[in-house]
Amino acid sequence: MSGHVCFTLYNVKRSIGAFRNVSIRSGFSTSADLTRAPPKTAVLMMNMGGPATQEDVHPFLLNLFADRDLIVLPWQSTASRFIAARRTPRVKKQYAEIGGGSPIRRWTEAQGAGMVRLLDVASPFTAPHAHYVAFRYAAPLTDETLMAMKADGVKRVVAFTQYPQYSCSTTGSSLNQLFRRLKALGLENEFEWSLVDRWPTSPALVKVFAKHIREALDTYPAAERHDVVLLFSAHSLPMKVVDRGDPYPQEVGATVHAIMEELNFSHEYRLSYQSKVGPLPWLGPKTLGVLQGLASHKRRNVLVVPVAFTTDHIETLYELDLEYGREARELGLTGYKRVESLNADPDFIQGLATMVDQHLNDGKKHSKQLPLRCPGCTNAVCADMRQFFCAQ
């Protein structure tokens, strides 16, 4: 990874700052520590996940393309197997270029471990807390995590999406799968649930991204700093999803606006979308197309902000850093850099703990938006999922 192309990616802060005068201890586990009392409150951290090894790439892709909440294909079962088999060799090479696998689980575990240690002191009435990880397409999958929580004696669970901006294809898909597996495993009455189902303008997100942007801007020569274009890049969605009324574009826009307010609108900025798959129309403009356009307008300094991602994974480390980094050099974007991801930033982990603490104290079971289905939704599972969680 070229140092002059992207901002430092692995400058991970190891000491976590105080949250209500509490320090985070080192070490973590995916389920309750066996030396502690059974957790009174579990925090279930949901995300898409990623293959940890080369051998995990094919099953990850197969799970992804089989998910009808994400993309609807004709003859889905057969088509997903064909697409996964065809894409696996190329995707394996991409993961090989970023170290062999995705770091998303490592970062999620670190975030969760720090968060619950803070919560144990910040919210003693709901302690002890334990974090669990449920990925949609890679281990640990939902079944494994639900059974681990049951074995640990968990009764109260906060399902905490790690997608800040809600989409039916991300958080919605994870919640649908959670609902389906609870029913399939006979665990519908095993846990008491509440949801943190979106947080696009949370200070945990906005302030830490703004801090990372300021730090990245400081790496530009003082004479050029004012000329940097901030390019916010989010994962795209098929237009079929957008057109049925998915709230994702508005929520991503809300995040961008809140960050720019925090920065006092100090720089020019744009929002673009990446990671399009297949021939059908997806939400744009494309991040690569925006880079090409900026280069044609003789702009040279572009700072990319991965605004919909809370950890590094293939979309940041490969797509933005390597693939777009190489393209940027060819285009003459000599000041192309990327903002460091949130990862284990102490302020971000503190913000996660604050969000859950506030959620536990305010007594709300979910956001105001959760009961409202997309106007064009025809997915019966989506309706049943909302009814289940809203009735908790």
Active site residues: 48, 64, 70, 136-137, 235, 312, 315, 319
The DSSP string of 43-60 is: EEEEE----SSGGGHHHH
Quote the tokens at residue 3. 């140092």
CA distance 373 to 365: 17
Is residue 140 within 8 Å of 104, Cβ to Cβ? no
Alpha helices, H only, the chain: 57-65, 76-97, 104-122, 142-151, 171-184, 203-217, 239-243, 248-262, 287-296, 314, 324-331, 346-362, 380-390
d(CA 11, CA 341): 10
CA distances from 15 to 22, 286, 369 (A): 12, 37, 36
State the Cα–Cα distance between residues 276 and 311, nearest whole angstrom: 19
Residue with tokens 């009324």: 245
Are the C-beta atoms of 197 and 367 separated by less than 8 Å? yes
* Phi, psi for 263 (deg, rounded to 5): -90, 5
**Both ends of the chain: CA-CA distance in Å?**
47
